[in-house]
């Protein structure tokens, strides 16, 4: 009996010390310090994502579990595939133009003497700083078929008026244009920072090695900026792909469904048409497409991460 008491006391004591040890461990402390963030991610990301997956498996009135019924339904609809294509065209074109414009303008700004640079940087950031829904409204007026500035100029130049948001092709162009206008400054600022981090002597070495300005960009600037370019493109692709406000304010997806992207169509189907499970299903389709892009880009970055 005495043995048992003694051993259980010992066990308790050792239990206390081992708990104490666990608490002292660096990994435990690290975990505890990260816990608020982990909880926040769970509440703000994991729970809504799980809930969306759950919703996507219910019927329209959310009373019956239908498994992959909603997915099956979407796959058979031509509109869905149109949305997939439009989202891809929208995101890819917009990101390419944002990247090119950002890169070119970053070079110009980088060549401005430091004194005047801040002013230009500030001004060029304006489109990115204004809330997108607000600036899109002014674009909406610019695109107005009868009273807008654009068509006024066109008429005065003797050109035909354009129905900017009324024809499928022009509507797609307009939506992408506004997205590029808003998003390019982000690329500009990232590329400007990256440009400044390229040592001047590399350019000097390259020009002594016989490189023209174009070869200096191709063989020095671009390789030195590759990681920043990859990360900005990934980040921008995600944001552009999931864009809602610009399309919503400018065209609301019209004419018909010509400018719908995933987010606006999910809103249309889920909120406006009252089929929340189907809307959830649509929005879930963004995940696999973006996941593939992210995997490729991040793998490329980590592969090269060690060299610079």
Partner 1 sequence: MAQVSLRKVIKKYDEVLAVRGVDLDIADKEFIVLVGPSGCGKSTTLRMIAGLEEISGGDIAIGGDVVNDVPPKDRDIAMVFQNYALYPHMNVYENMSFGLKLKKTPKQEIDQRVRAAAGILDITELLDRKPKQLSGGQRQRVAMGRAIVRDPKVFLFDEPLSNLDAKLRVQMRTEIKKVHQKVRTTTVYVTHDQVEAMTLADRVVVMNAGLIEQVGTPNDLYHSPATKFVAGFIGSPAMNFIPCQLEQAAGALRVRLSDKLSFPVPDGRTARYTSNVGKPNLILGLRPEHIAETRPHIEPNQHDFDQVIEVVEPMGMETLVYFTLAGAEVCGRVNPNAGATAERSMKLRADLSNMHLIDDTTGKVL
Selected range binding partner 1 among 21-29, 212-220, 252-260, 265-273, rule: CB under 8 A: 212-220
Q: Using the minimum distance from each CB to partner 1, give the nearer residue, 184 or 229.
A: 229
* Tokens read off for 165: 């948001």
69 lines the binding site for partner 1 (CB under 8 A): no
In 3D, which of 219, 190, 300, 241 has the Cα closest to residue 86? 241
266 lines the binding site for partner 1 (CB under 8 A): no
Contact with partner 1 (CB under 8 A) among 207, 231, 238, 242: 207
What angle is formed at CA 96 by the lines to CA 211 and CA 248, rounded to 5 degrees?
A: 160
116 lines the binding site for partner 1 (CB under 8 A): no
* Tokens read off for 211: 């490189």
3-state secondary structure of 296: helix
Site string for partner 1, 218-257 (x = CB under 8 A): -xx--xx-x-------------------------------
In 3D, which of 237, 127, 124, 135 has the Cα closest to residue 189? 124
Query: Taking a C-beta distance cutoff of 8 angstroms, is the pair 293, 237 a contact?
Result: yes
Q: What is the DSSP string of 80-105?
A: HHHHHHHHHHHHHHHHHHHHHHHHHH
Stretch 140-199 residues interacting with partner 1 (CB under 8 A): 199
Selected range binding partner 1 among 51-59, 211-219, 248-256, 278-286, rule: CB under 8 A: 211-219
Closest contact distance (angstroms) between CB of 106 and partner 1 is 19
Closest contact distance (angstroms) between CB of 219 and partner 1 is 7
Other CB atoms within 10 A of residue 163 CB:
14
Selected range binding partner 1 among 85-93, 118-126, 139-147, 215-223, rule: CB under 8 A: 215-223
* Centroid of chain to Cα 267: 18
- Cα 268 from Cα 287, distance rounded (Å): 19
Contact with partner 1 (CB under 8 A) among 204, 256, 299, 302: 204
In the complex, the residues that contact partner 1 under the rule CB under 8 A are 199, 201-202, 204-212, 215, 219-220, 223-224, 226, 304, 306-308
């Amino acid at each position: 009996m005495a043995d048992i008491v003694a051993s259980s006391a010992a066990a308790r004591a050792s239990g206390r010390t081992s708990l104490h040890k666990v608490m002292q461990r660096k990994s435990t402390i690290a975990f505890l310090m990260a816990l608020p963030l982990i909880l926040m991610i769970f509440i703000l990301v994991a729970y809504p994502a799980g809930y969306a997956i759950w919703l996507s498996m219910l019927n329209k009135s959310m009373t019956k579990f239908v498994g992959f019924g909603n997915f099956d339904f979407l796959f058979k609809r031509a509109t869905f595939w149109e949305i997939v294509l439009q989202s891809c065209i929208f995101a890819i074109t917009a990101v390419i133009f944002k990247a090119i414009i950002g890169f070119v303008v970053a070079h110009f700004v980088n060549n401005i003497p430091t004194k005047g640079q801040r002013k230009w940087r500030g001004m060029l950031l304006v489109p990115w700083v204004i809330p997108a829904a607000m600036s899109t409204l002014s674009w909406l007026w610019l695109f107005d078929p009868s009273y807008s500035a654009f068509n006024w100029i066109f008429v005065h130049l003797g050109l035909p008026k354009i129905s900017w948001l009324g024809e499928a092709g022009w509507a797609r162009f307009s939506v992408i244009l506004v997205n590029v206008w808003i998003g390019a400054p982000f690329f500009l600022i990232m590329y400007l920072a990256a440009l400044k981090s390229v040592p001047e002597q590399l350019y000097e070495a390259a020009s002594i090695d016989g490189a023209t300005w174009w070869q200096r960009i191709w063989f020095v600037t671009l390789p030195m900026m590759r990681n920043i370019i990859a990360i900005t493109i990934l980040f921008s692709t995600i944001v552009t792909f999931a864009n809602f406000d610009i399309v919503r304010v400018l065209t609301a997806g019209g004419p018909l469904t010509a400018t719908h992207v995933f987010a606006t169509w999910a809103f249309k189907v889920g909120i406006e048409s009252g089929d929340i499970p189907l809307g959830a299903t649509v929005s879930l389709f963004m995940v696999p497409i973006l996941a593939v892009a992210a995997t490729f880009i991040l793998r490329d970055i980590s592969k090269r991460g060690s060299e610079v």
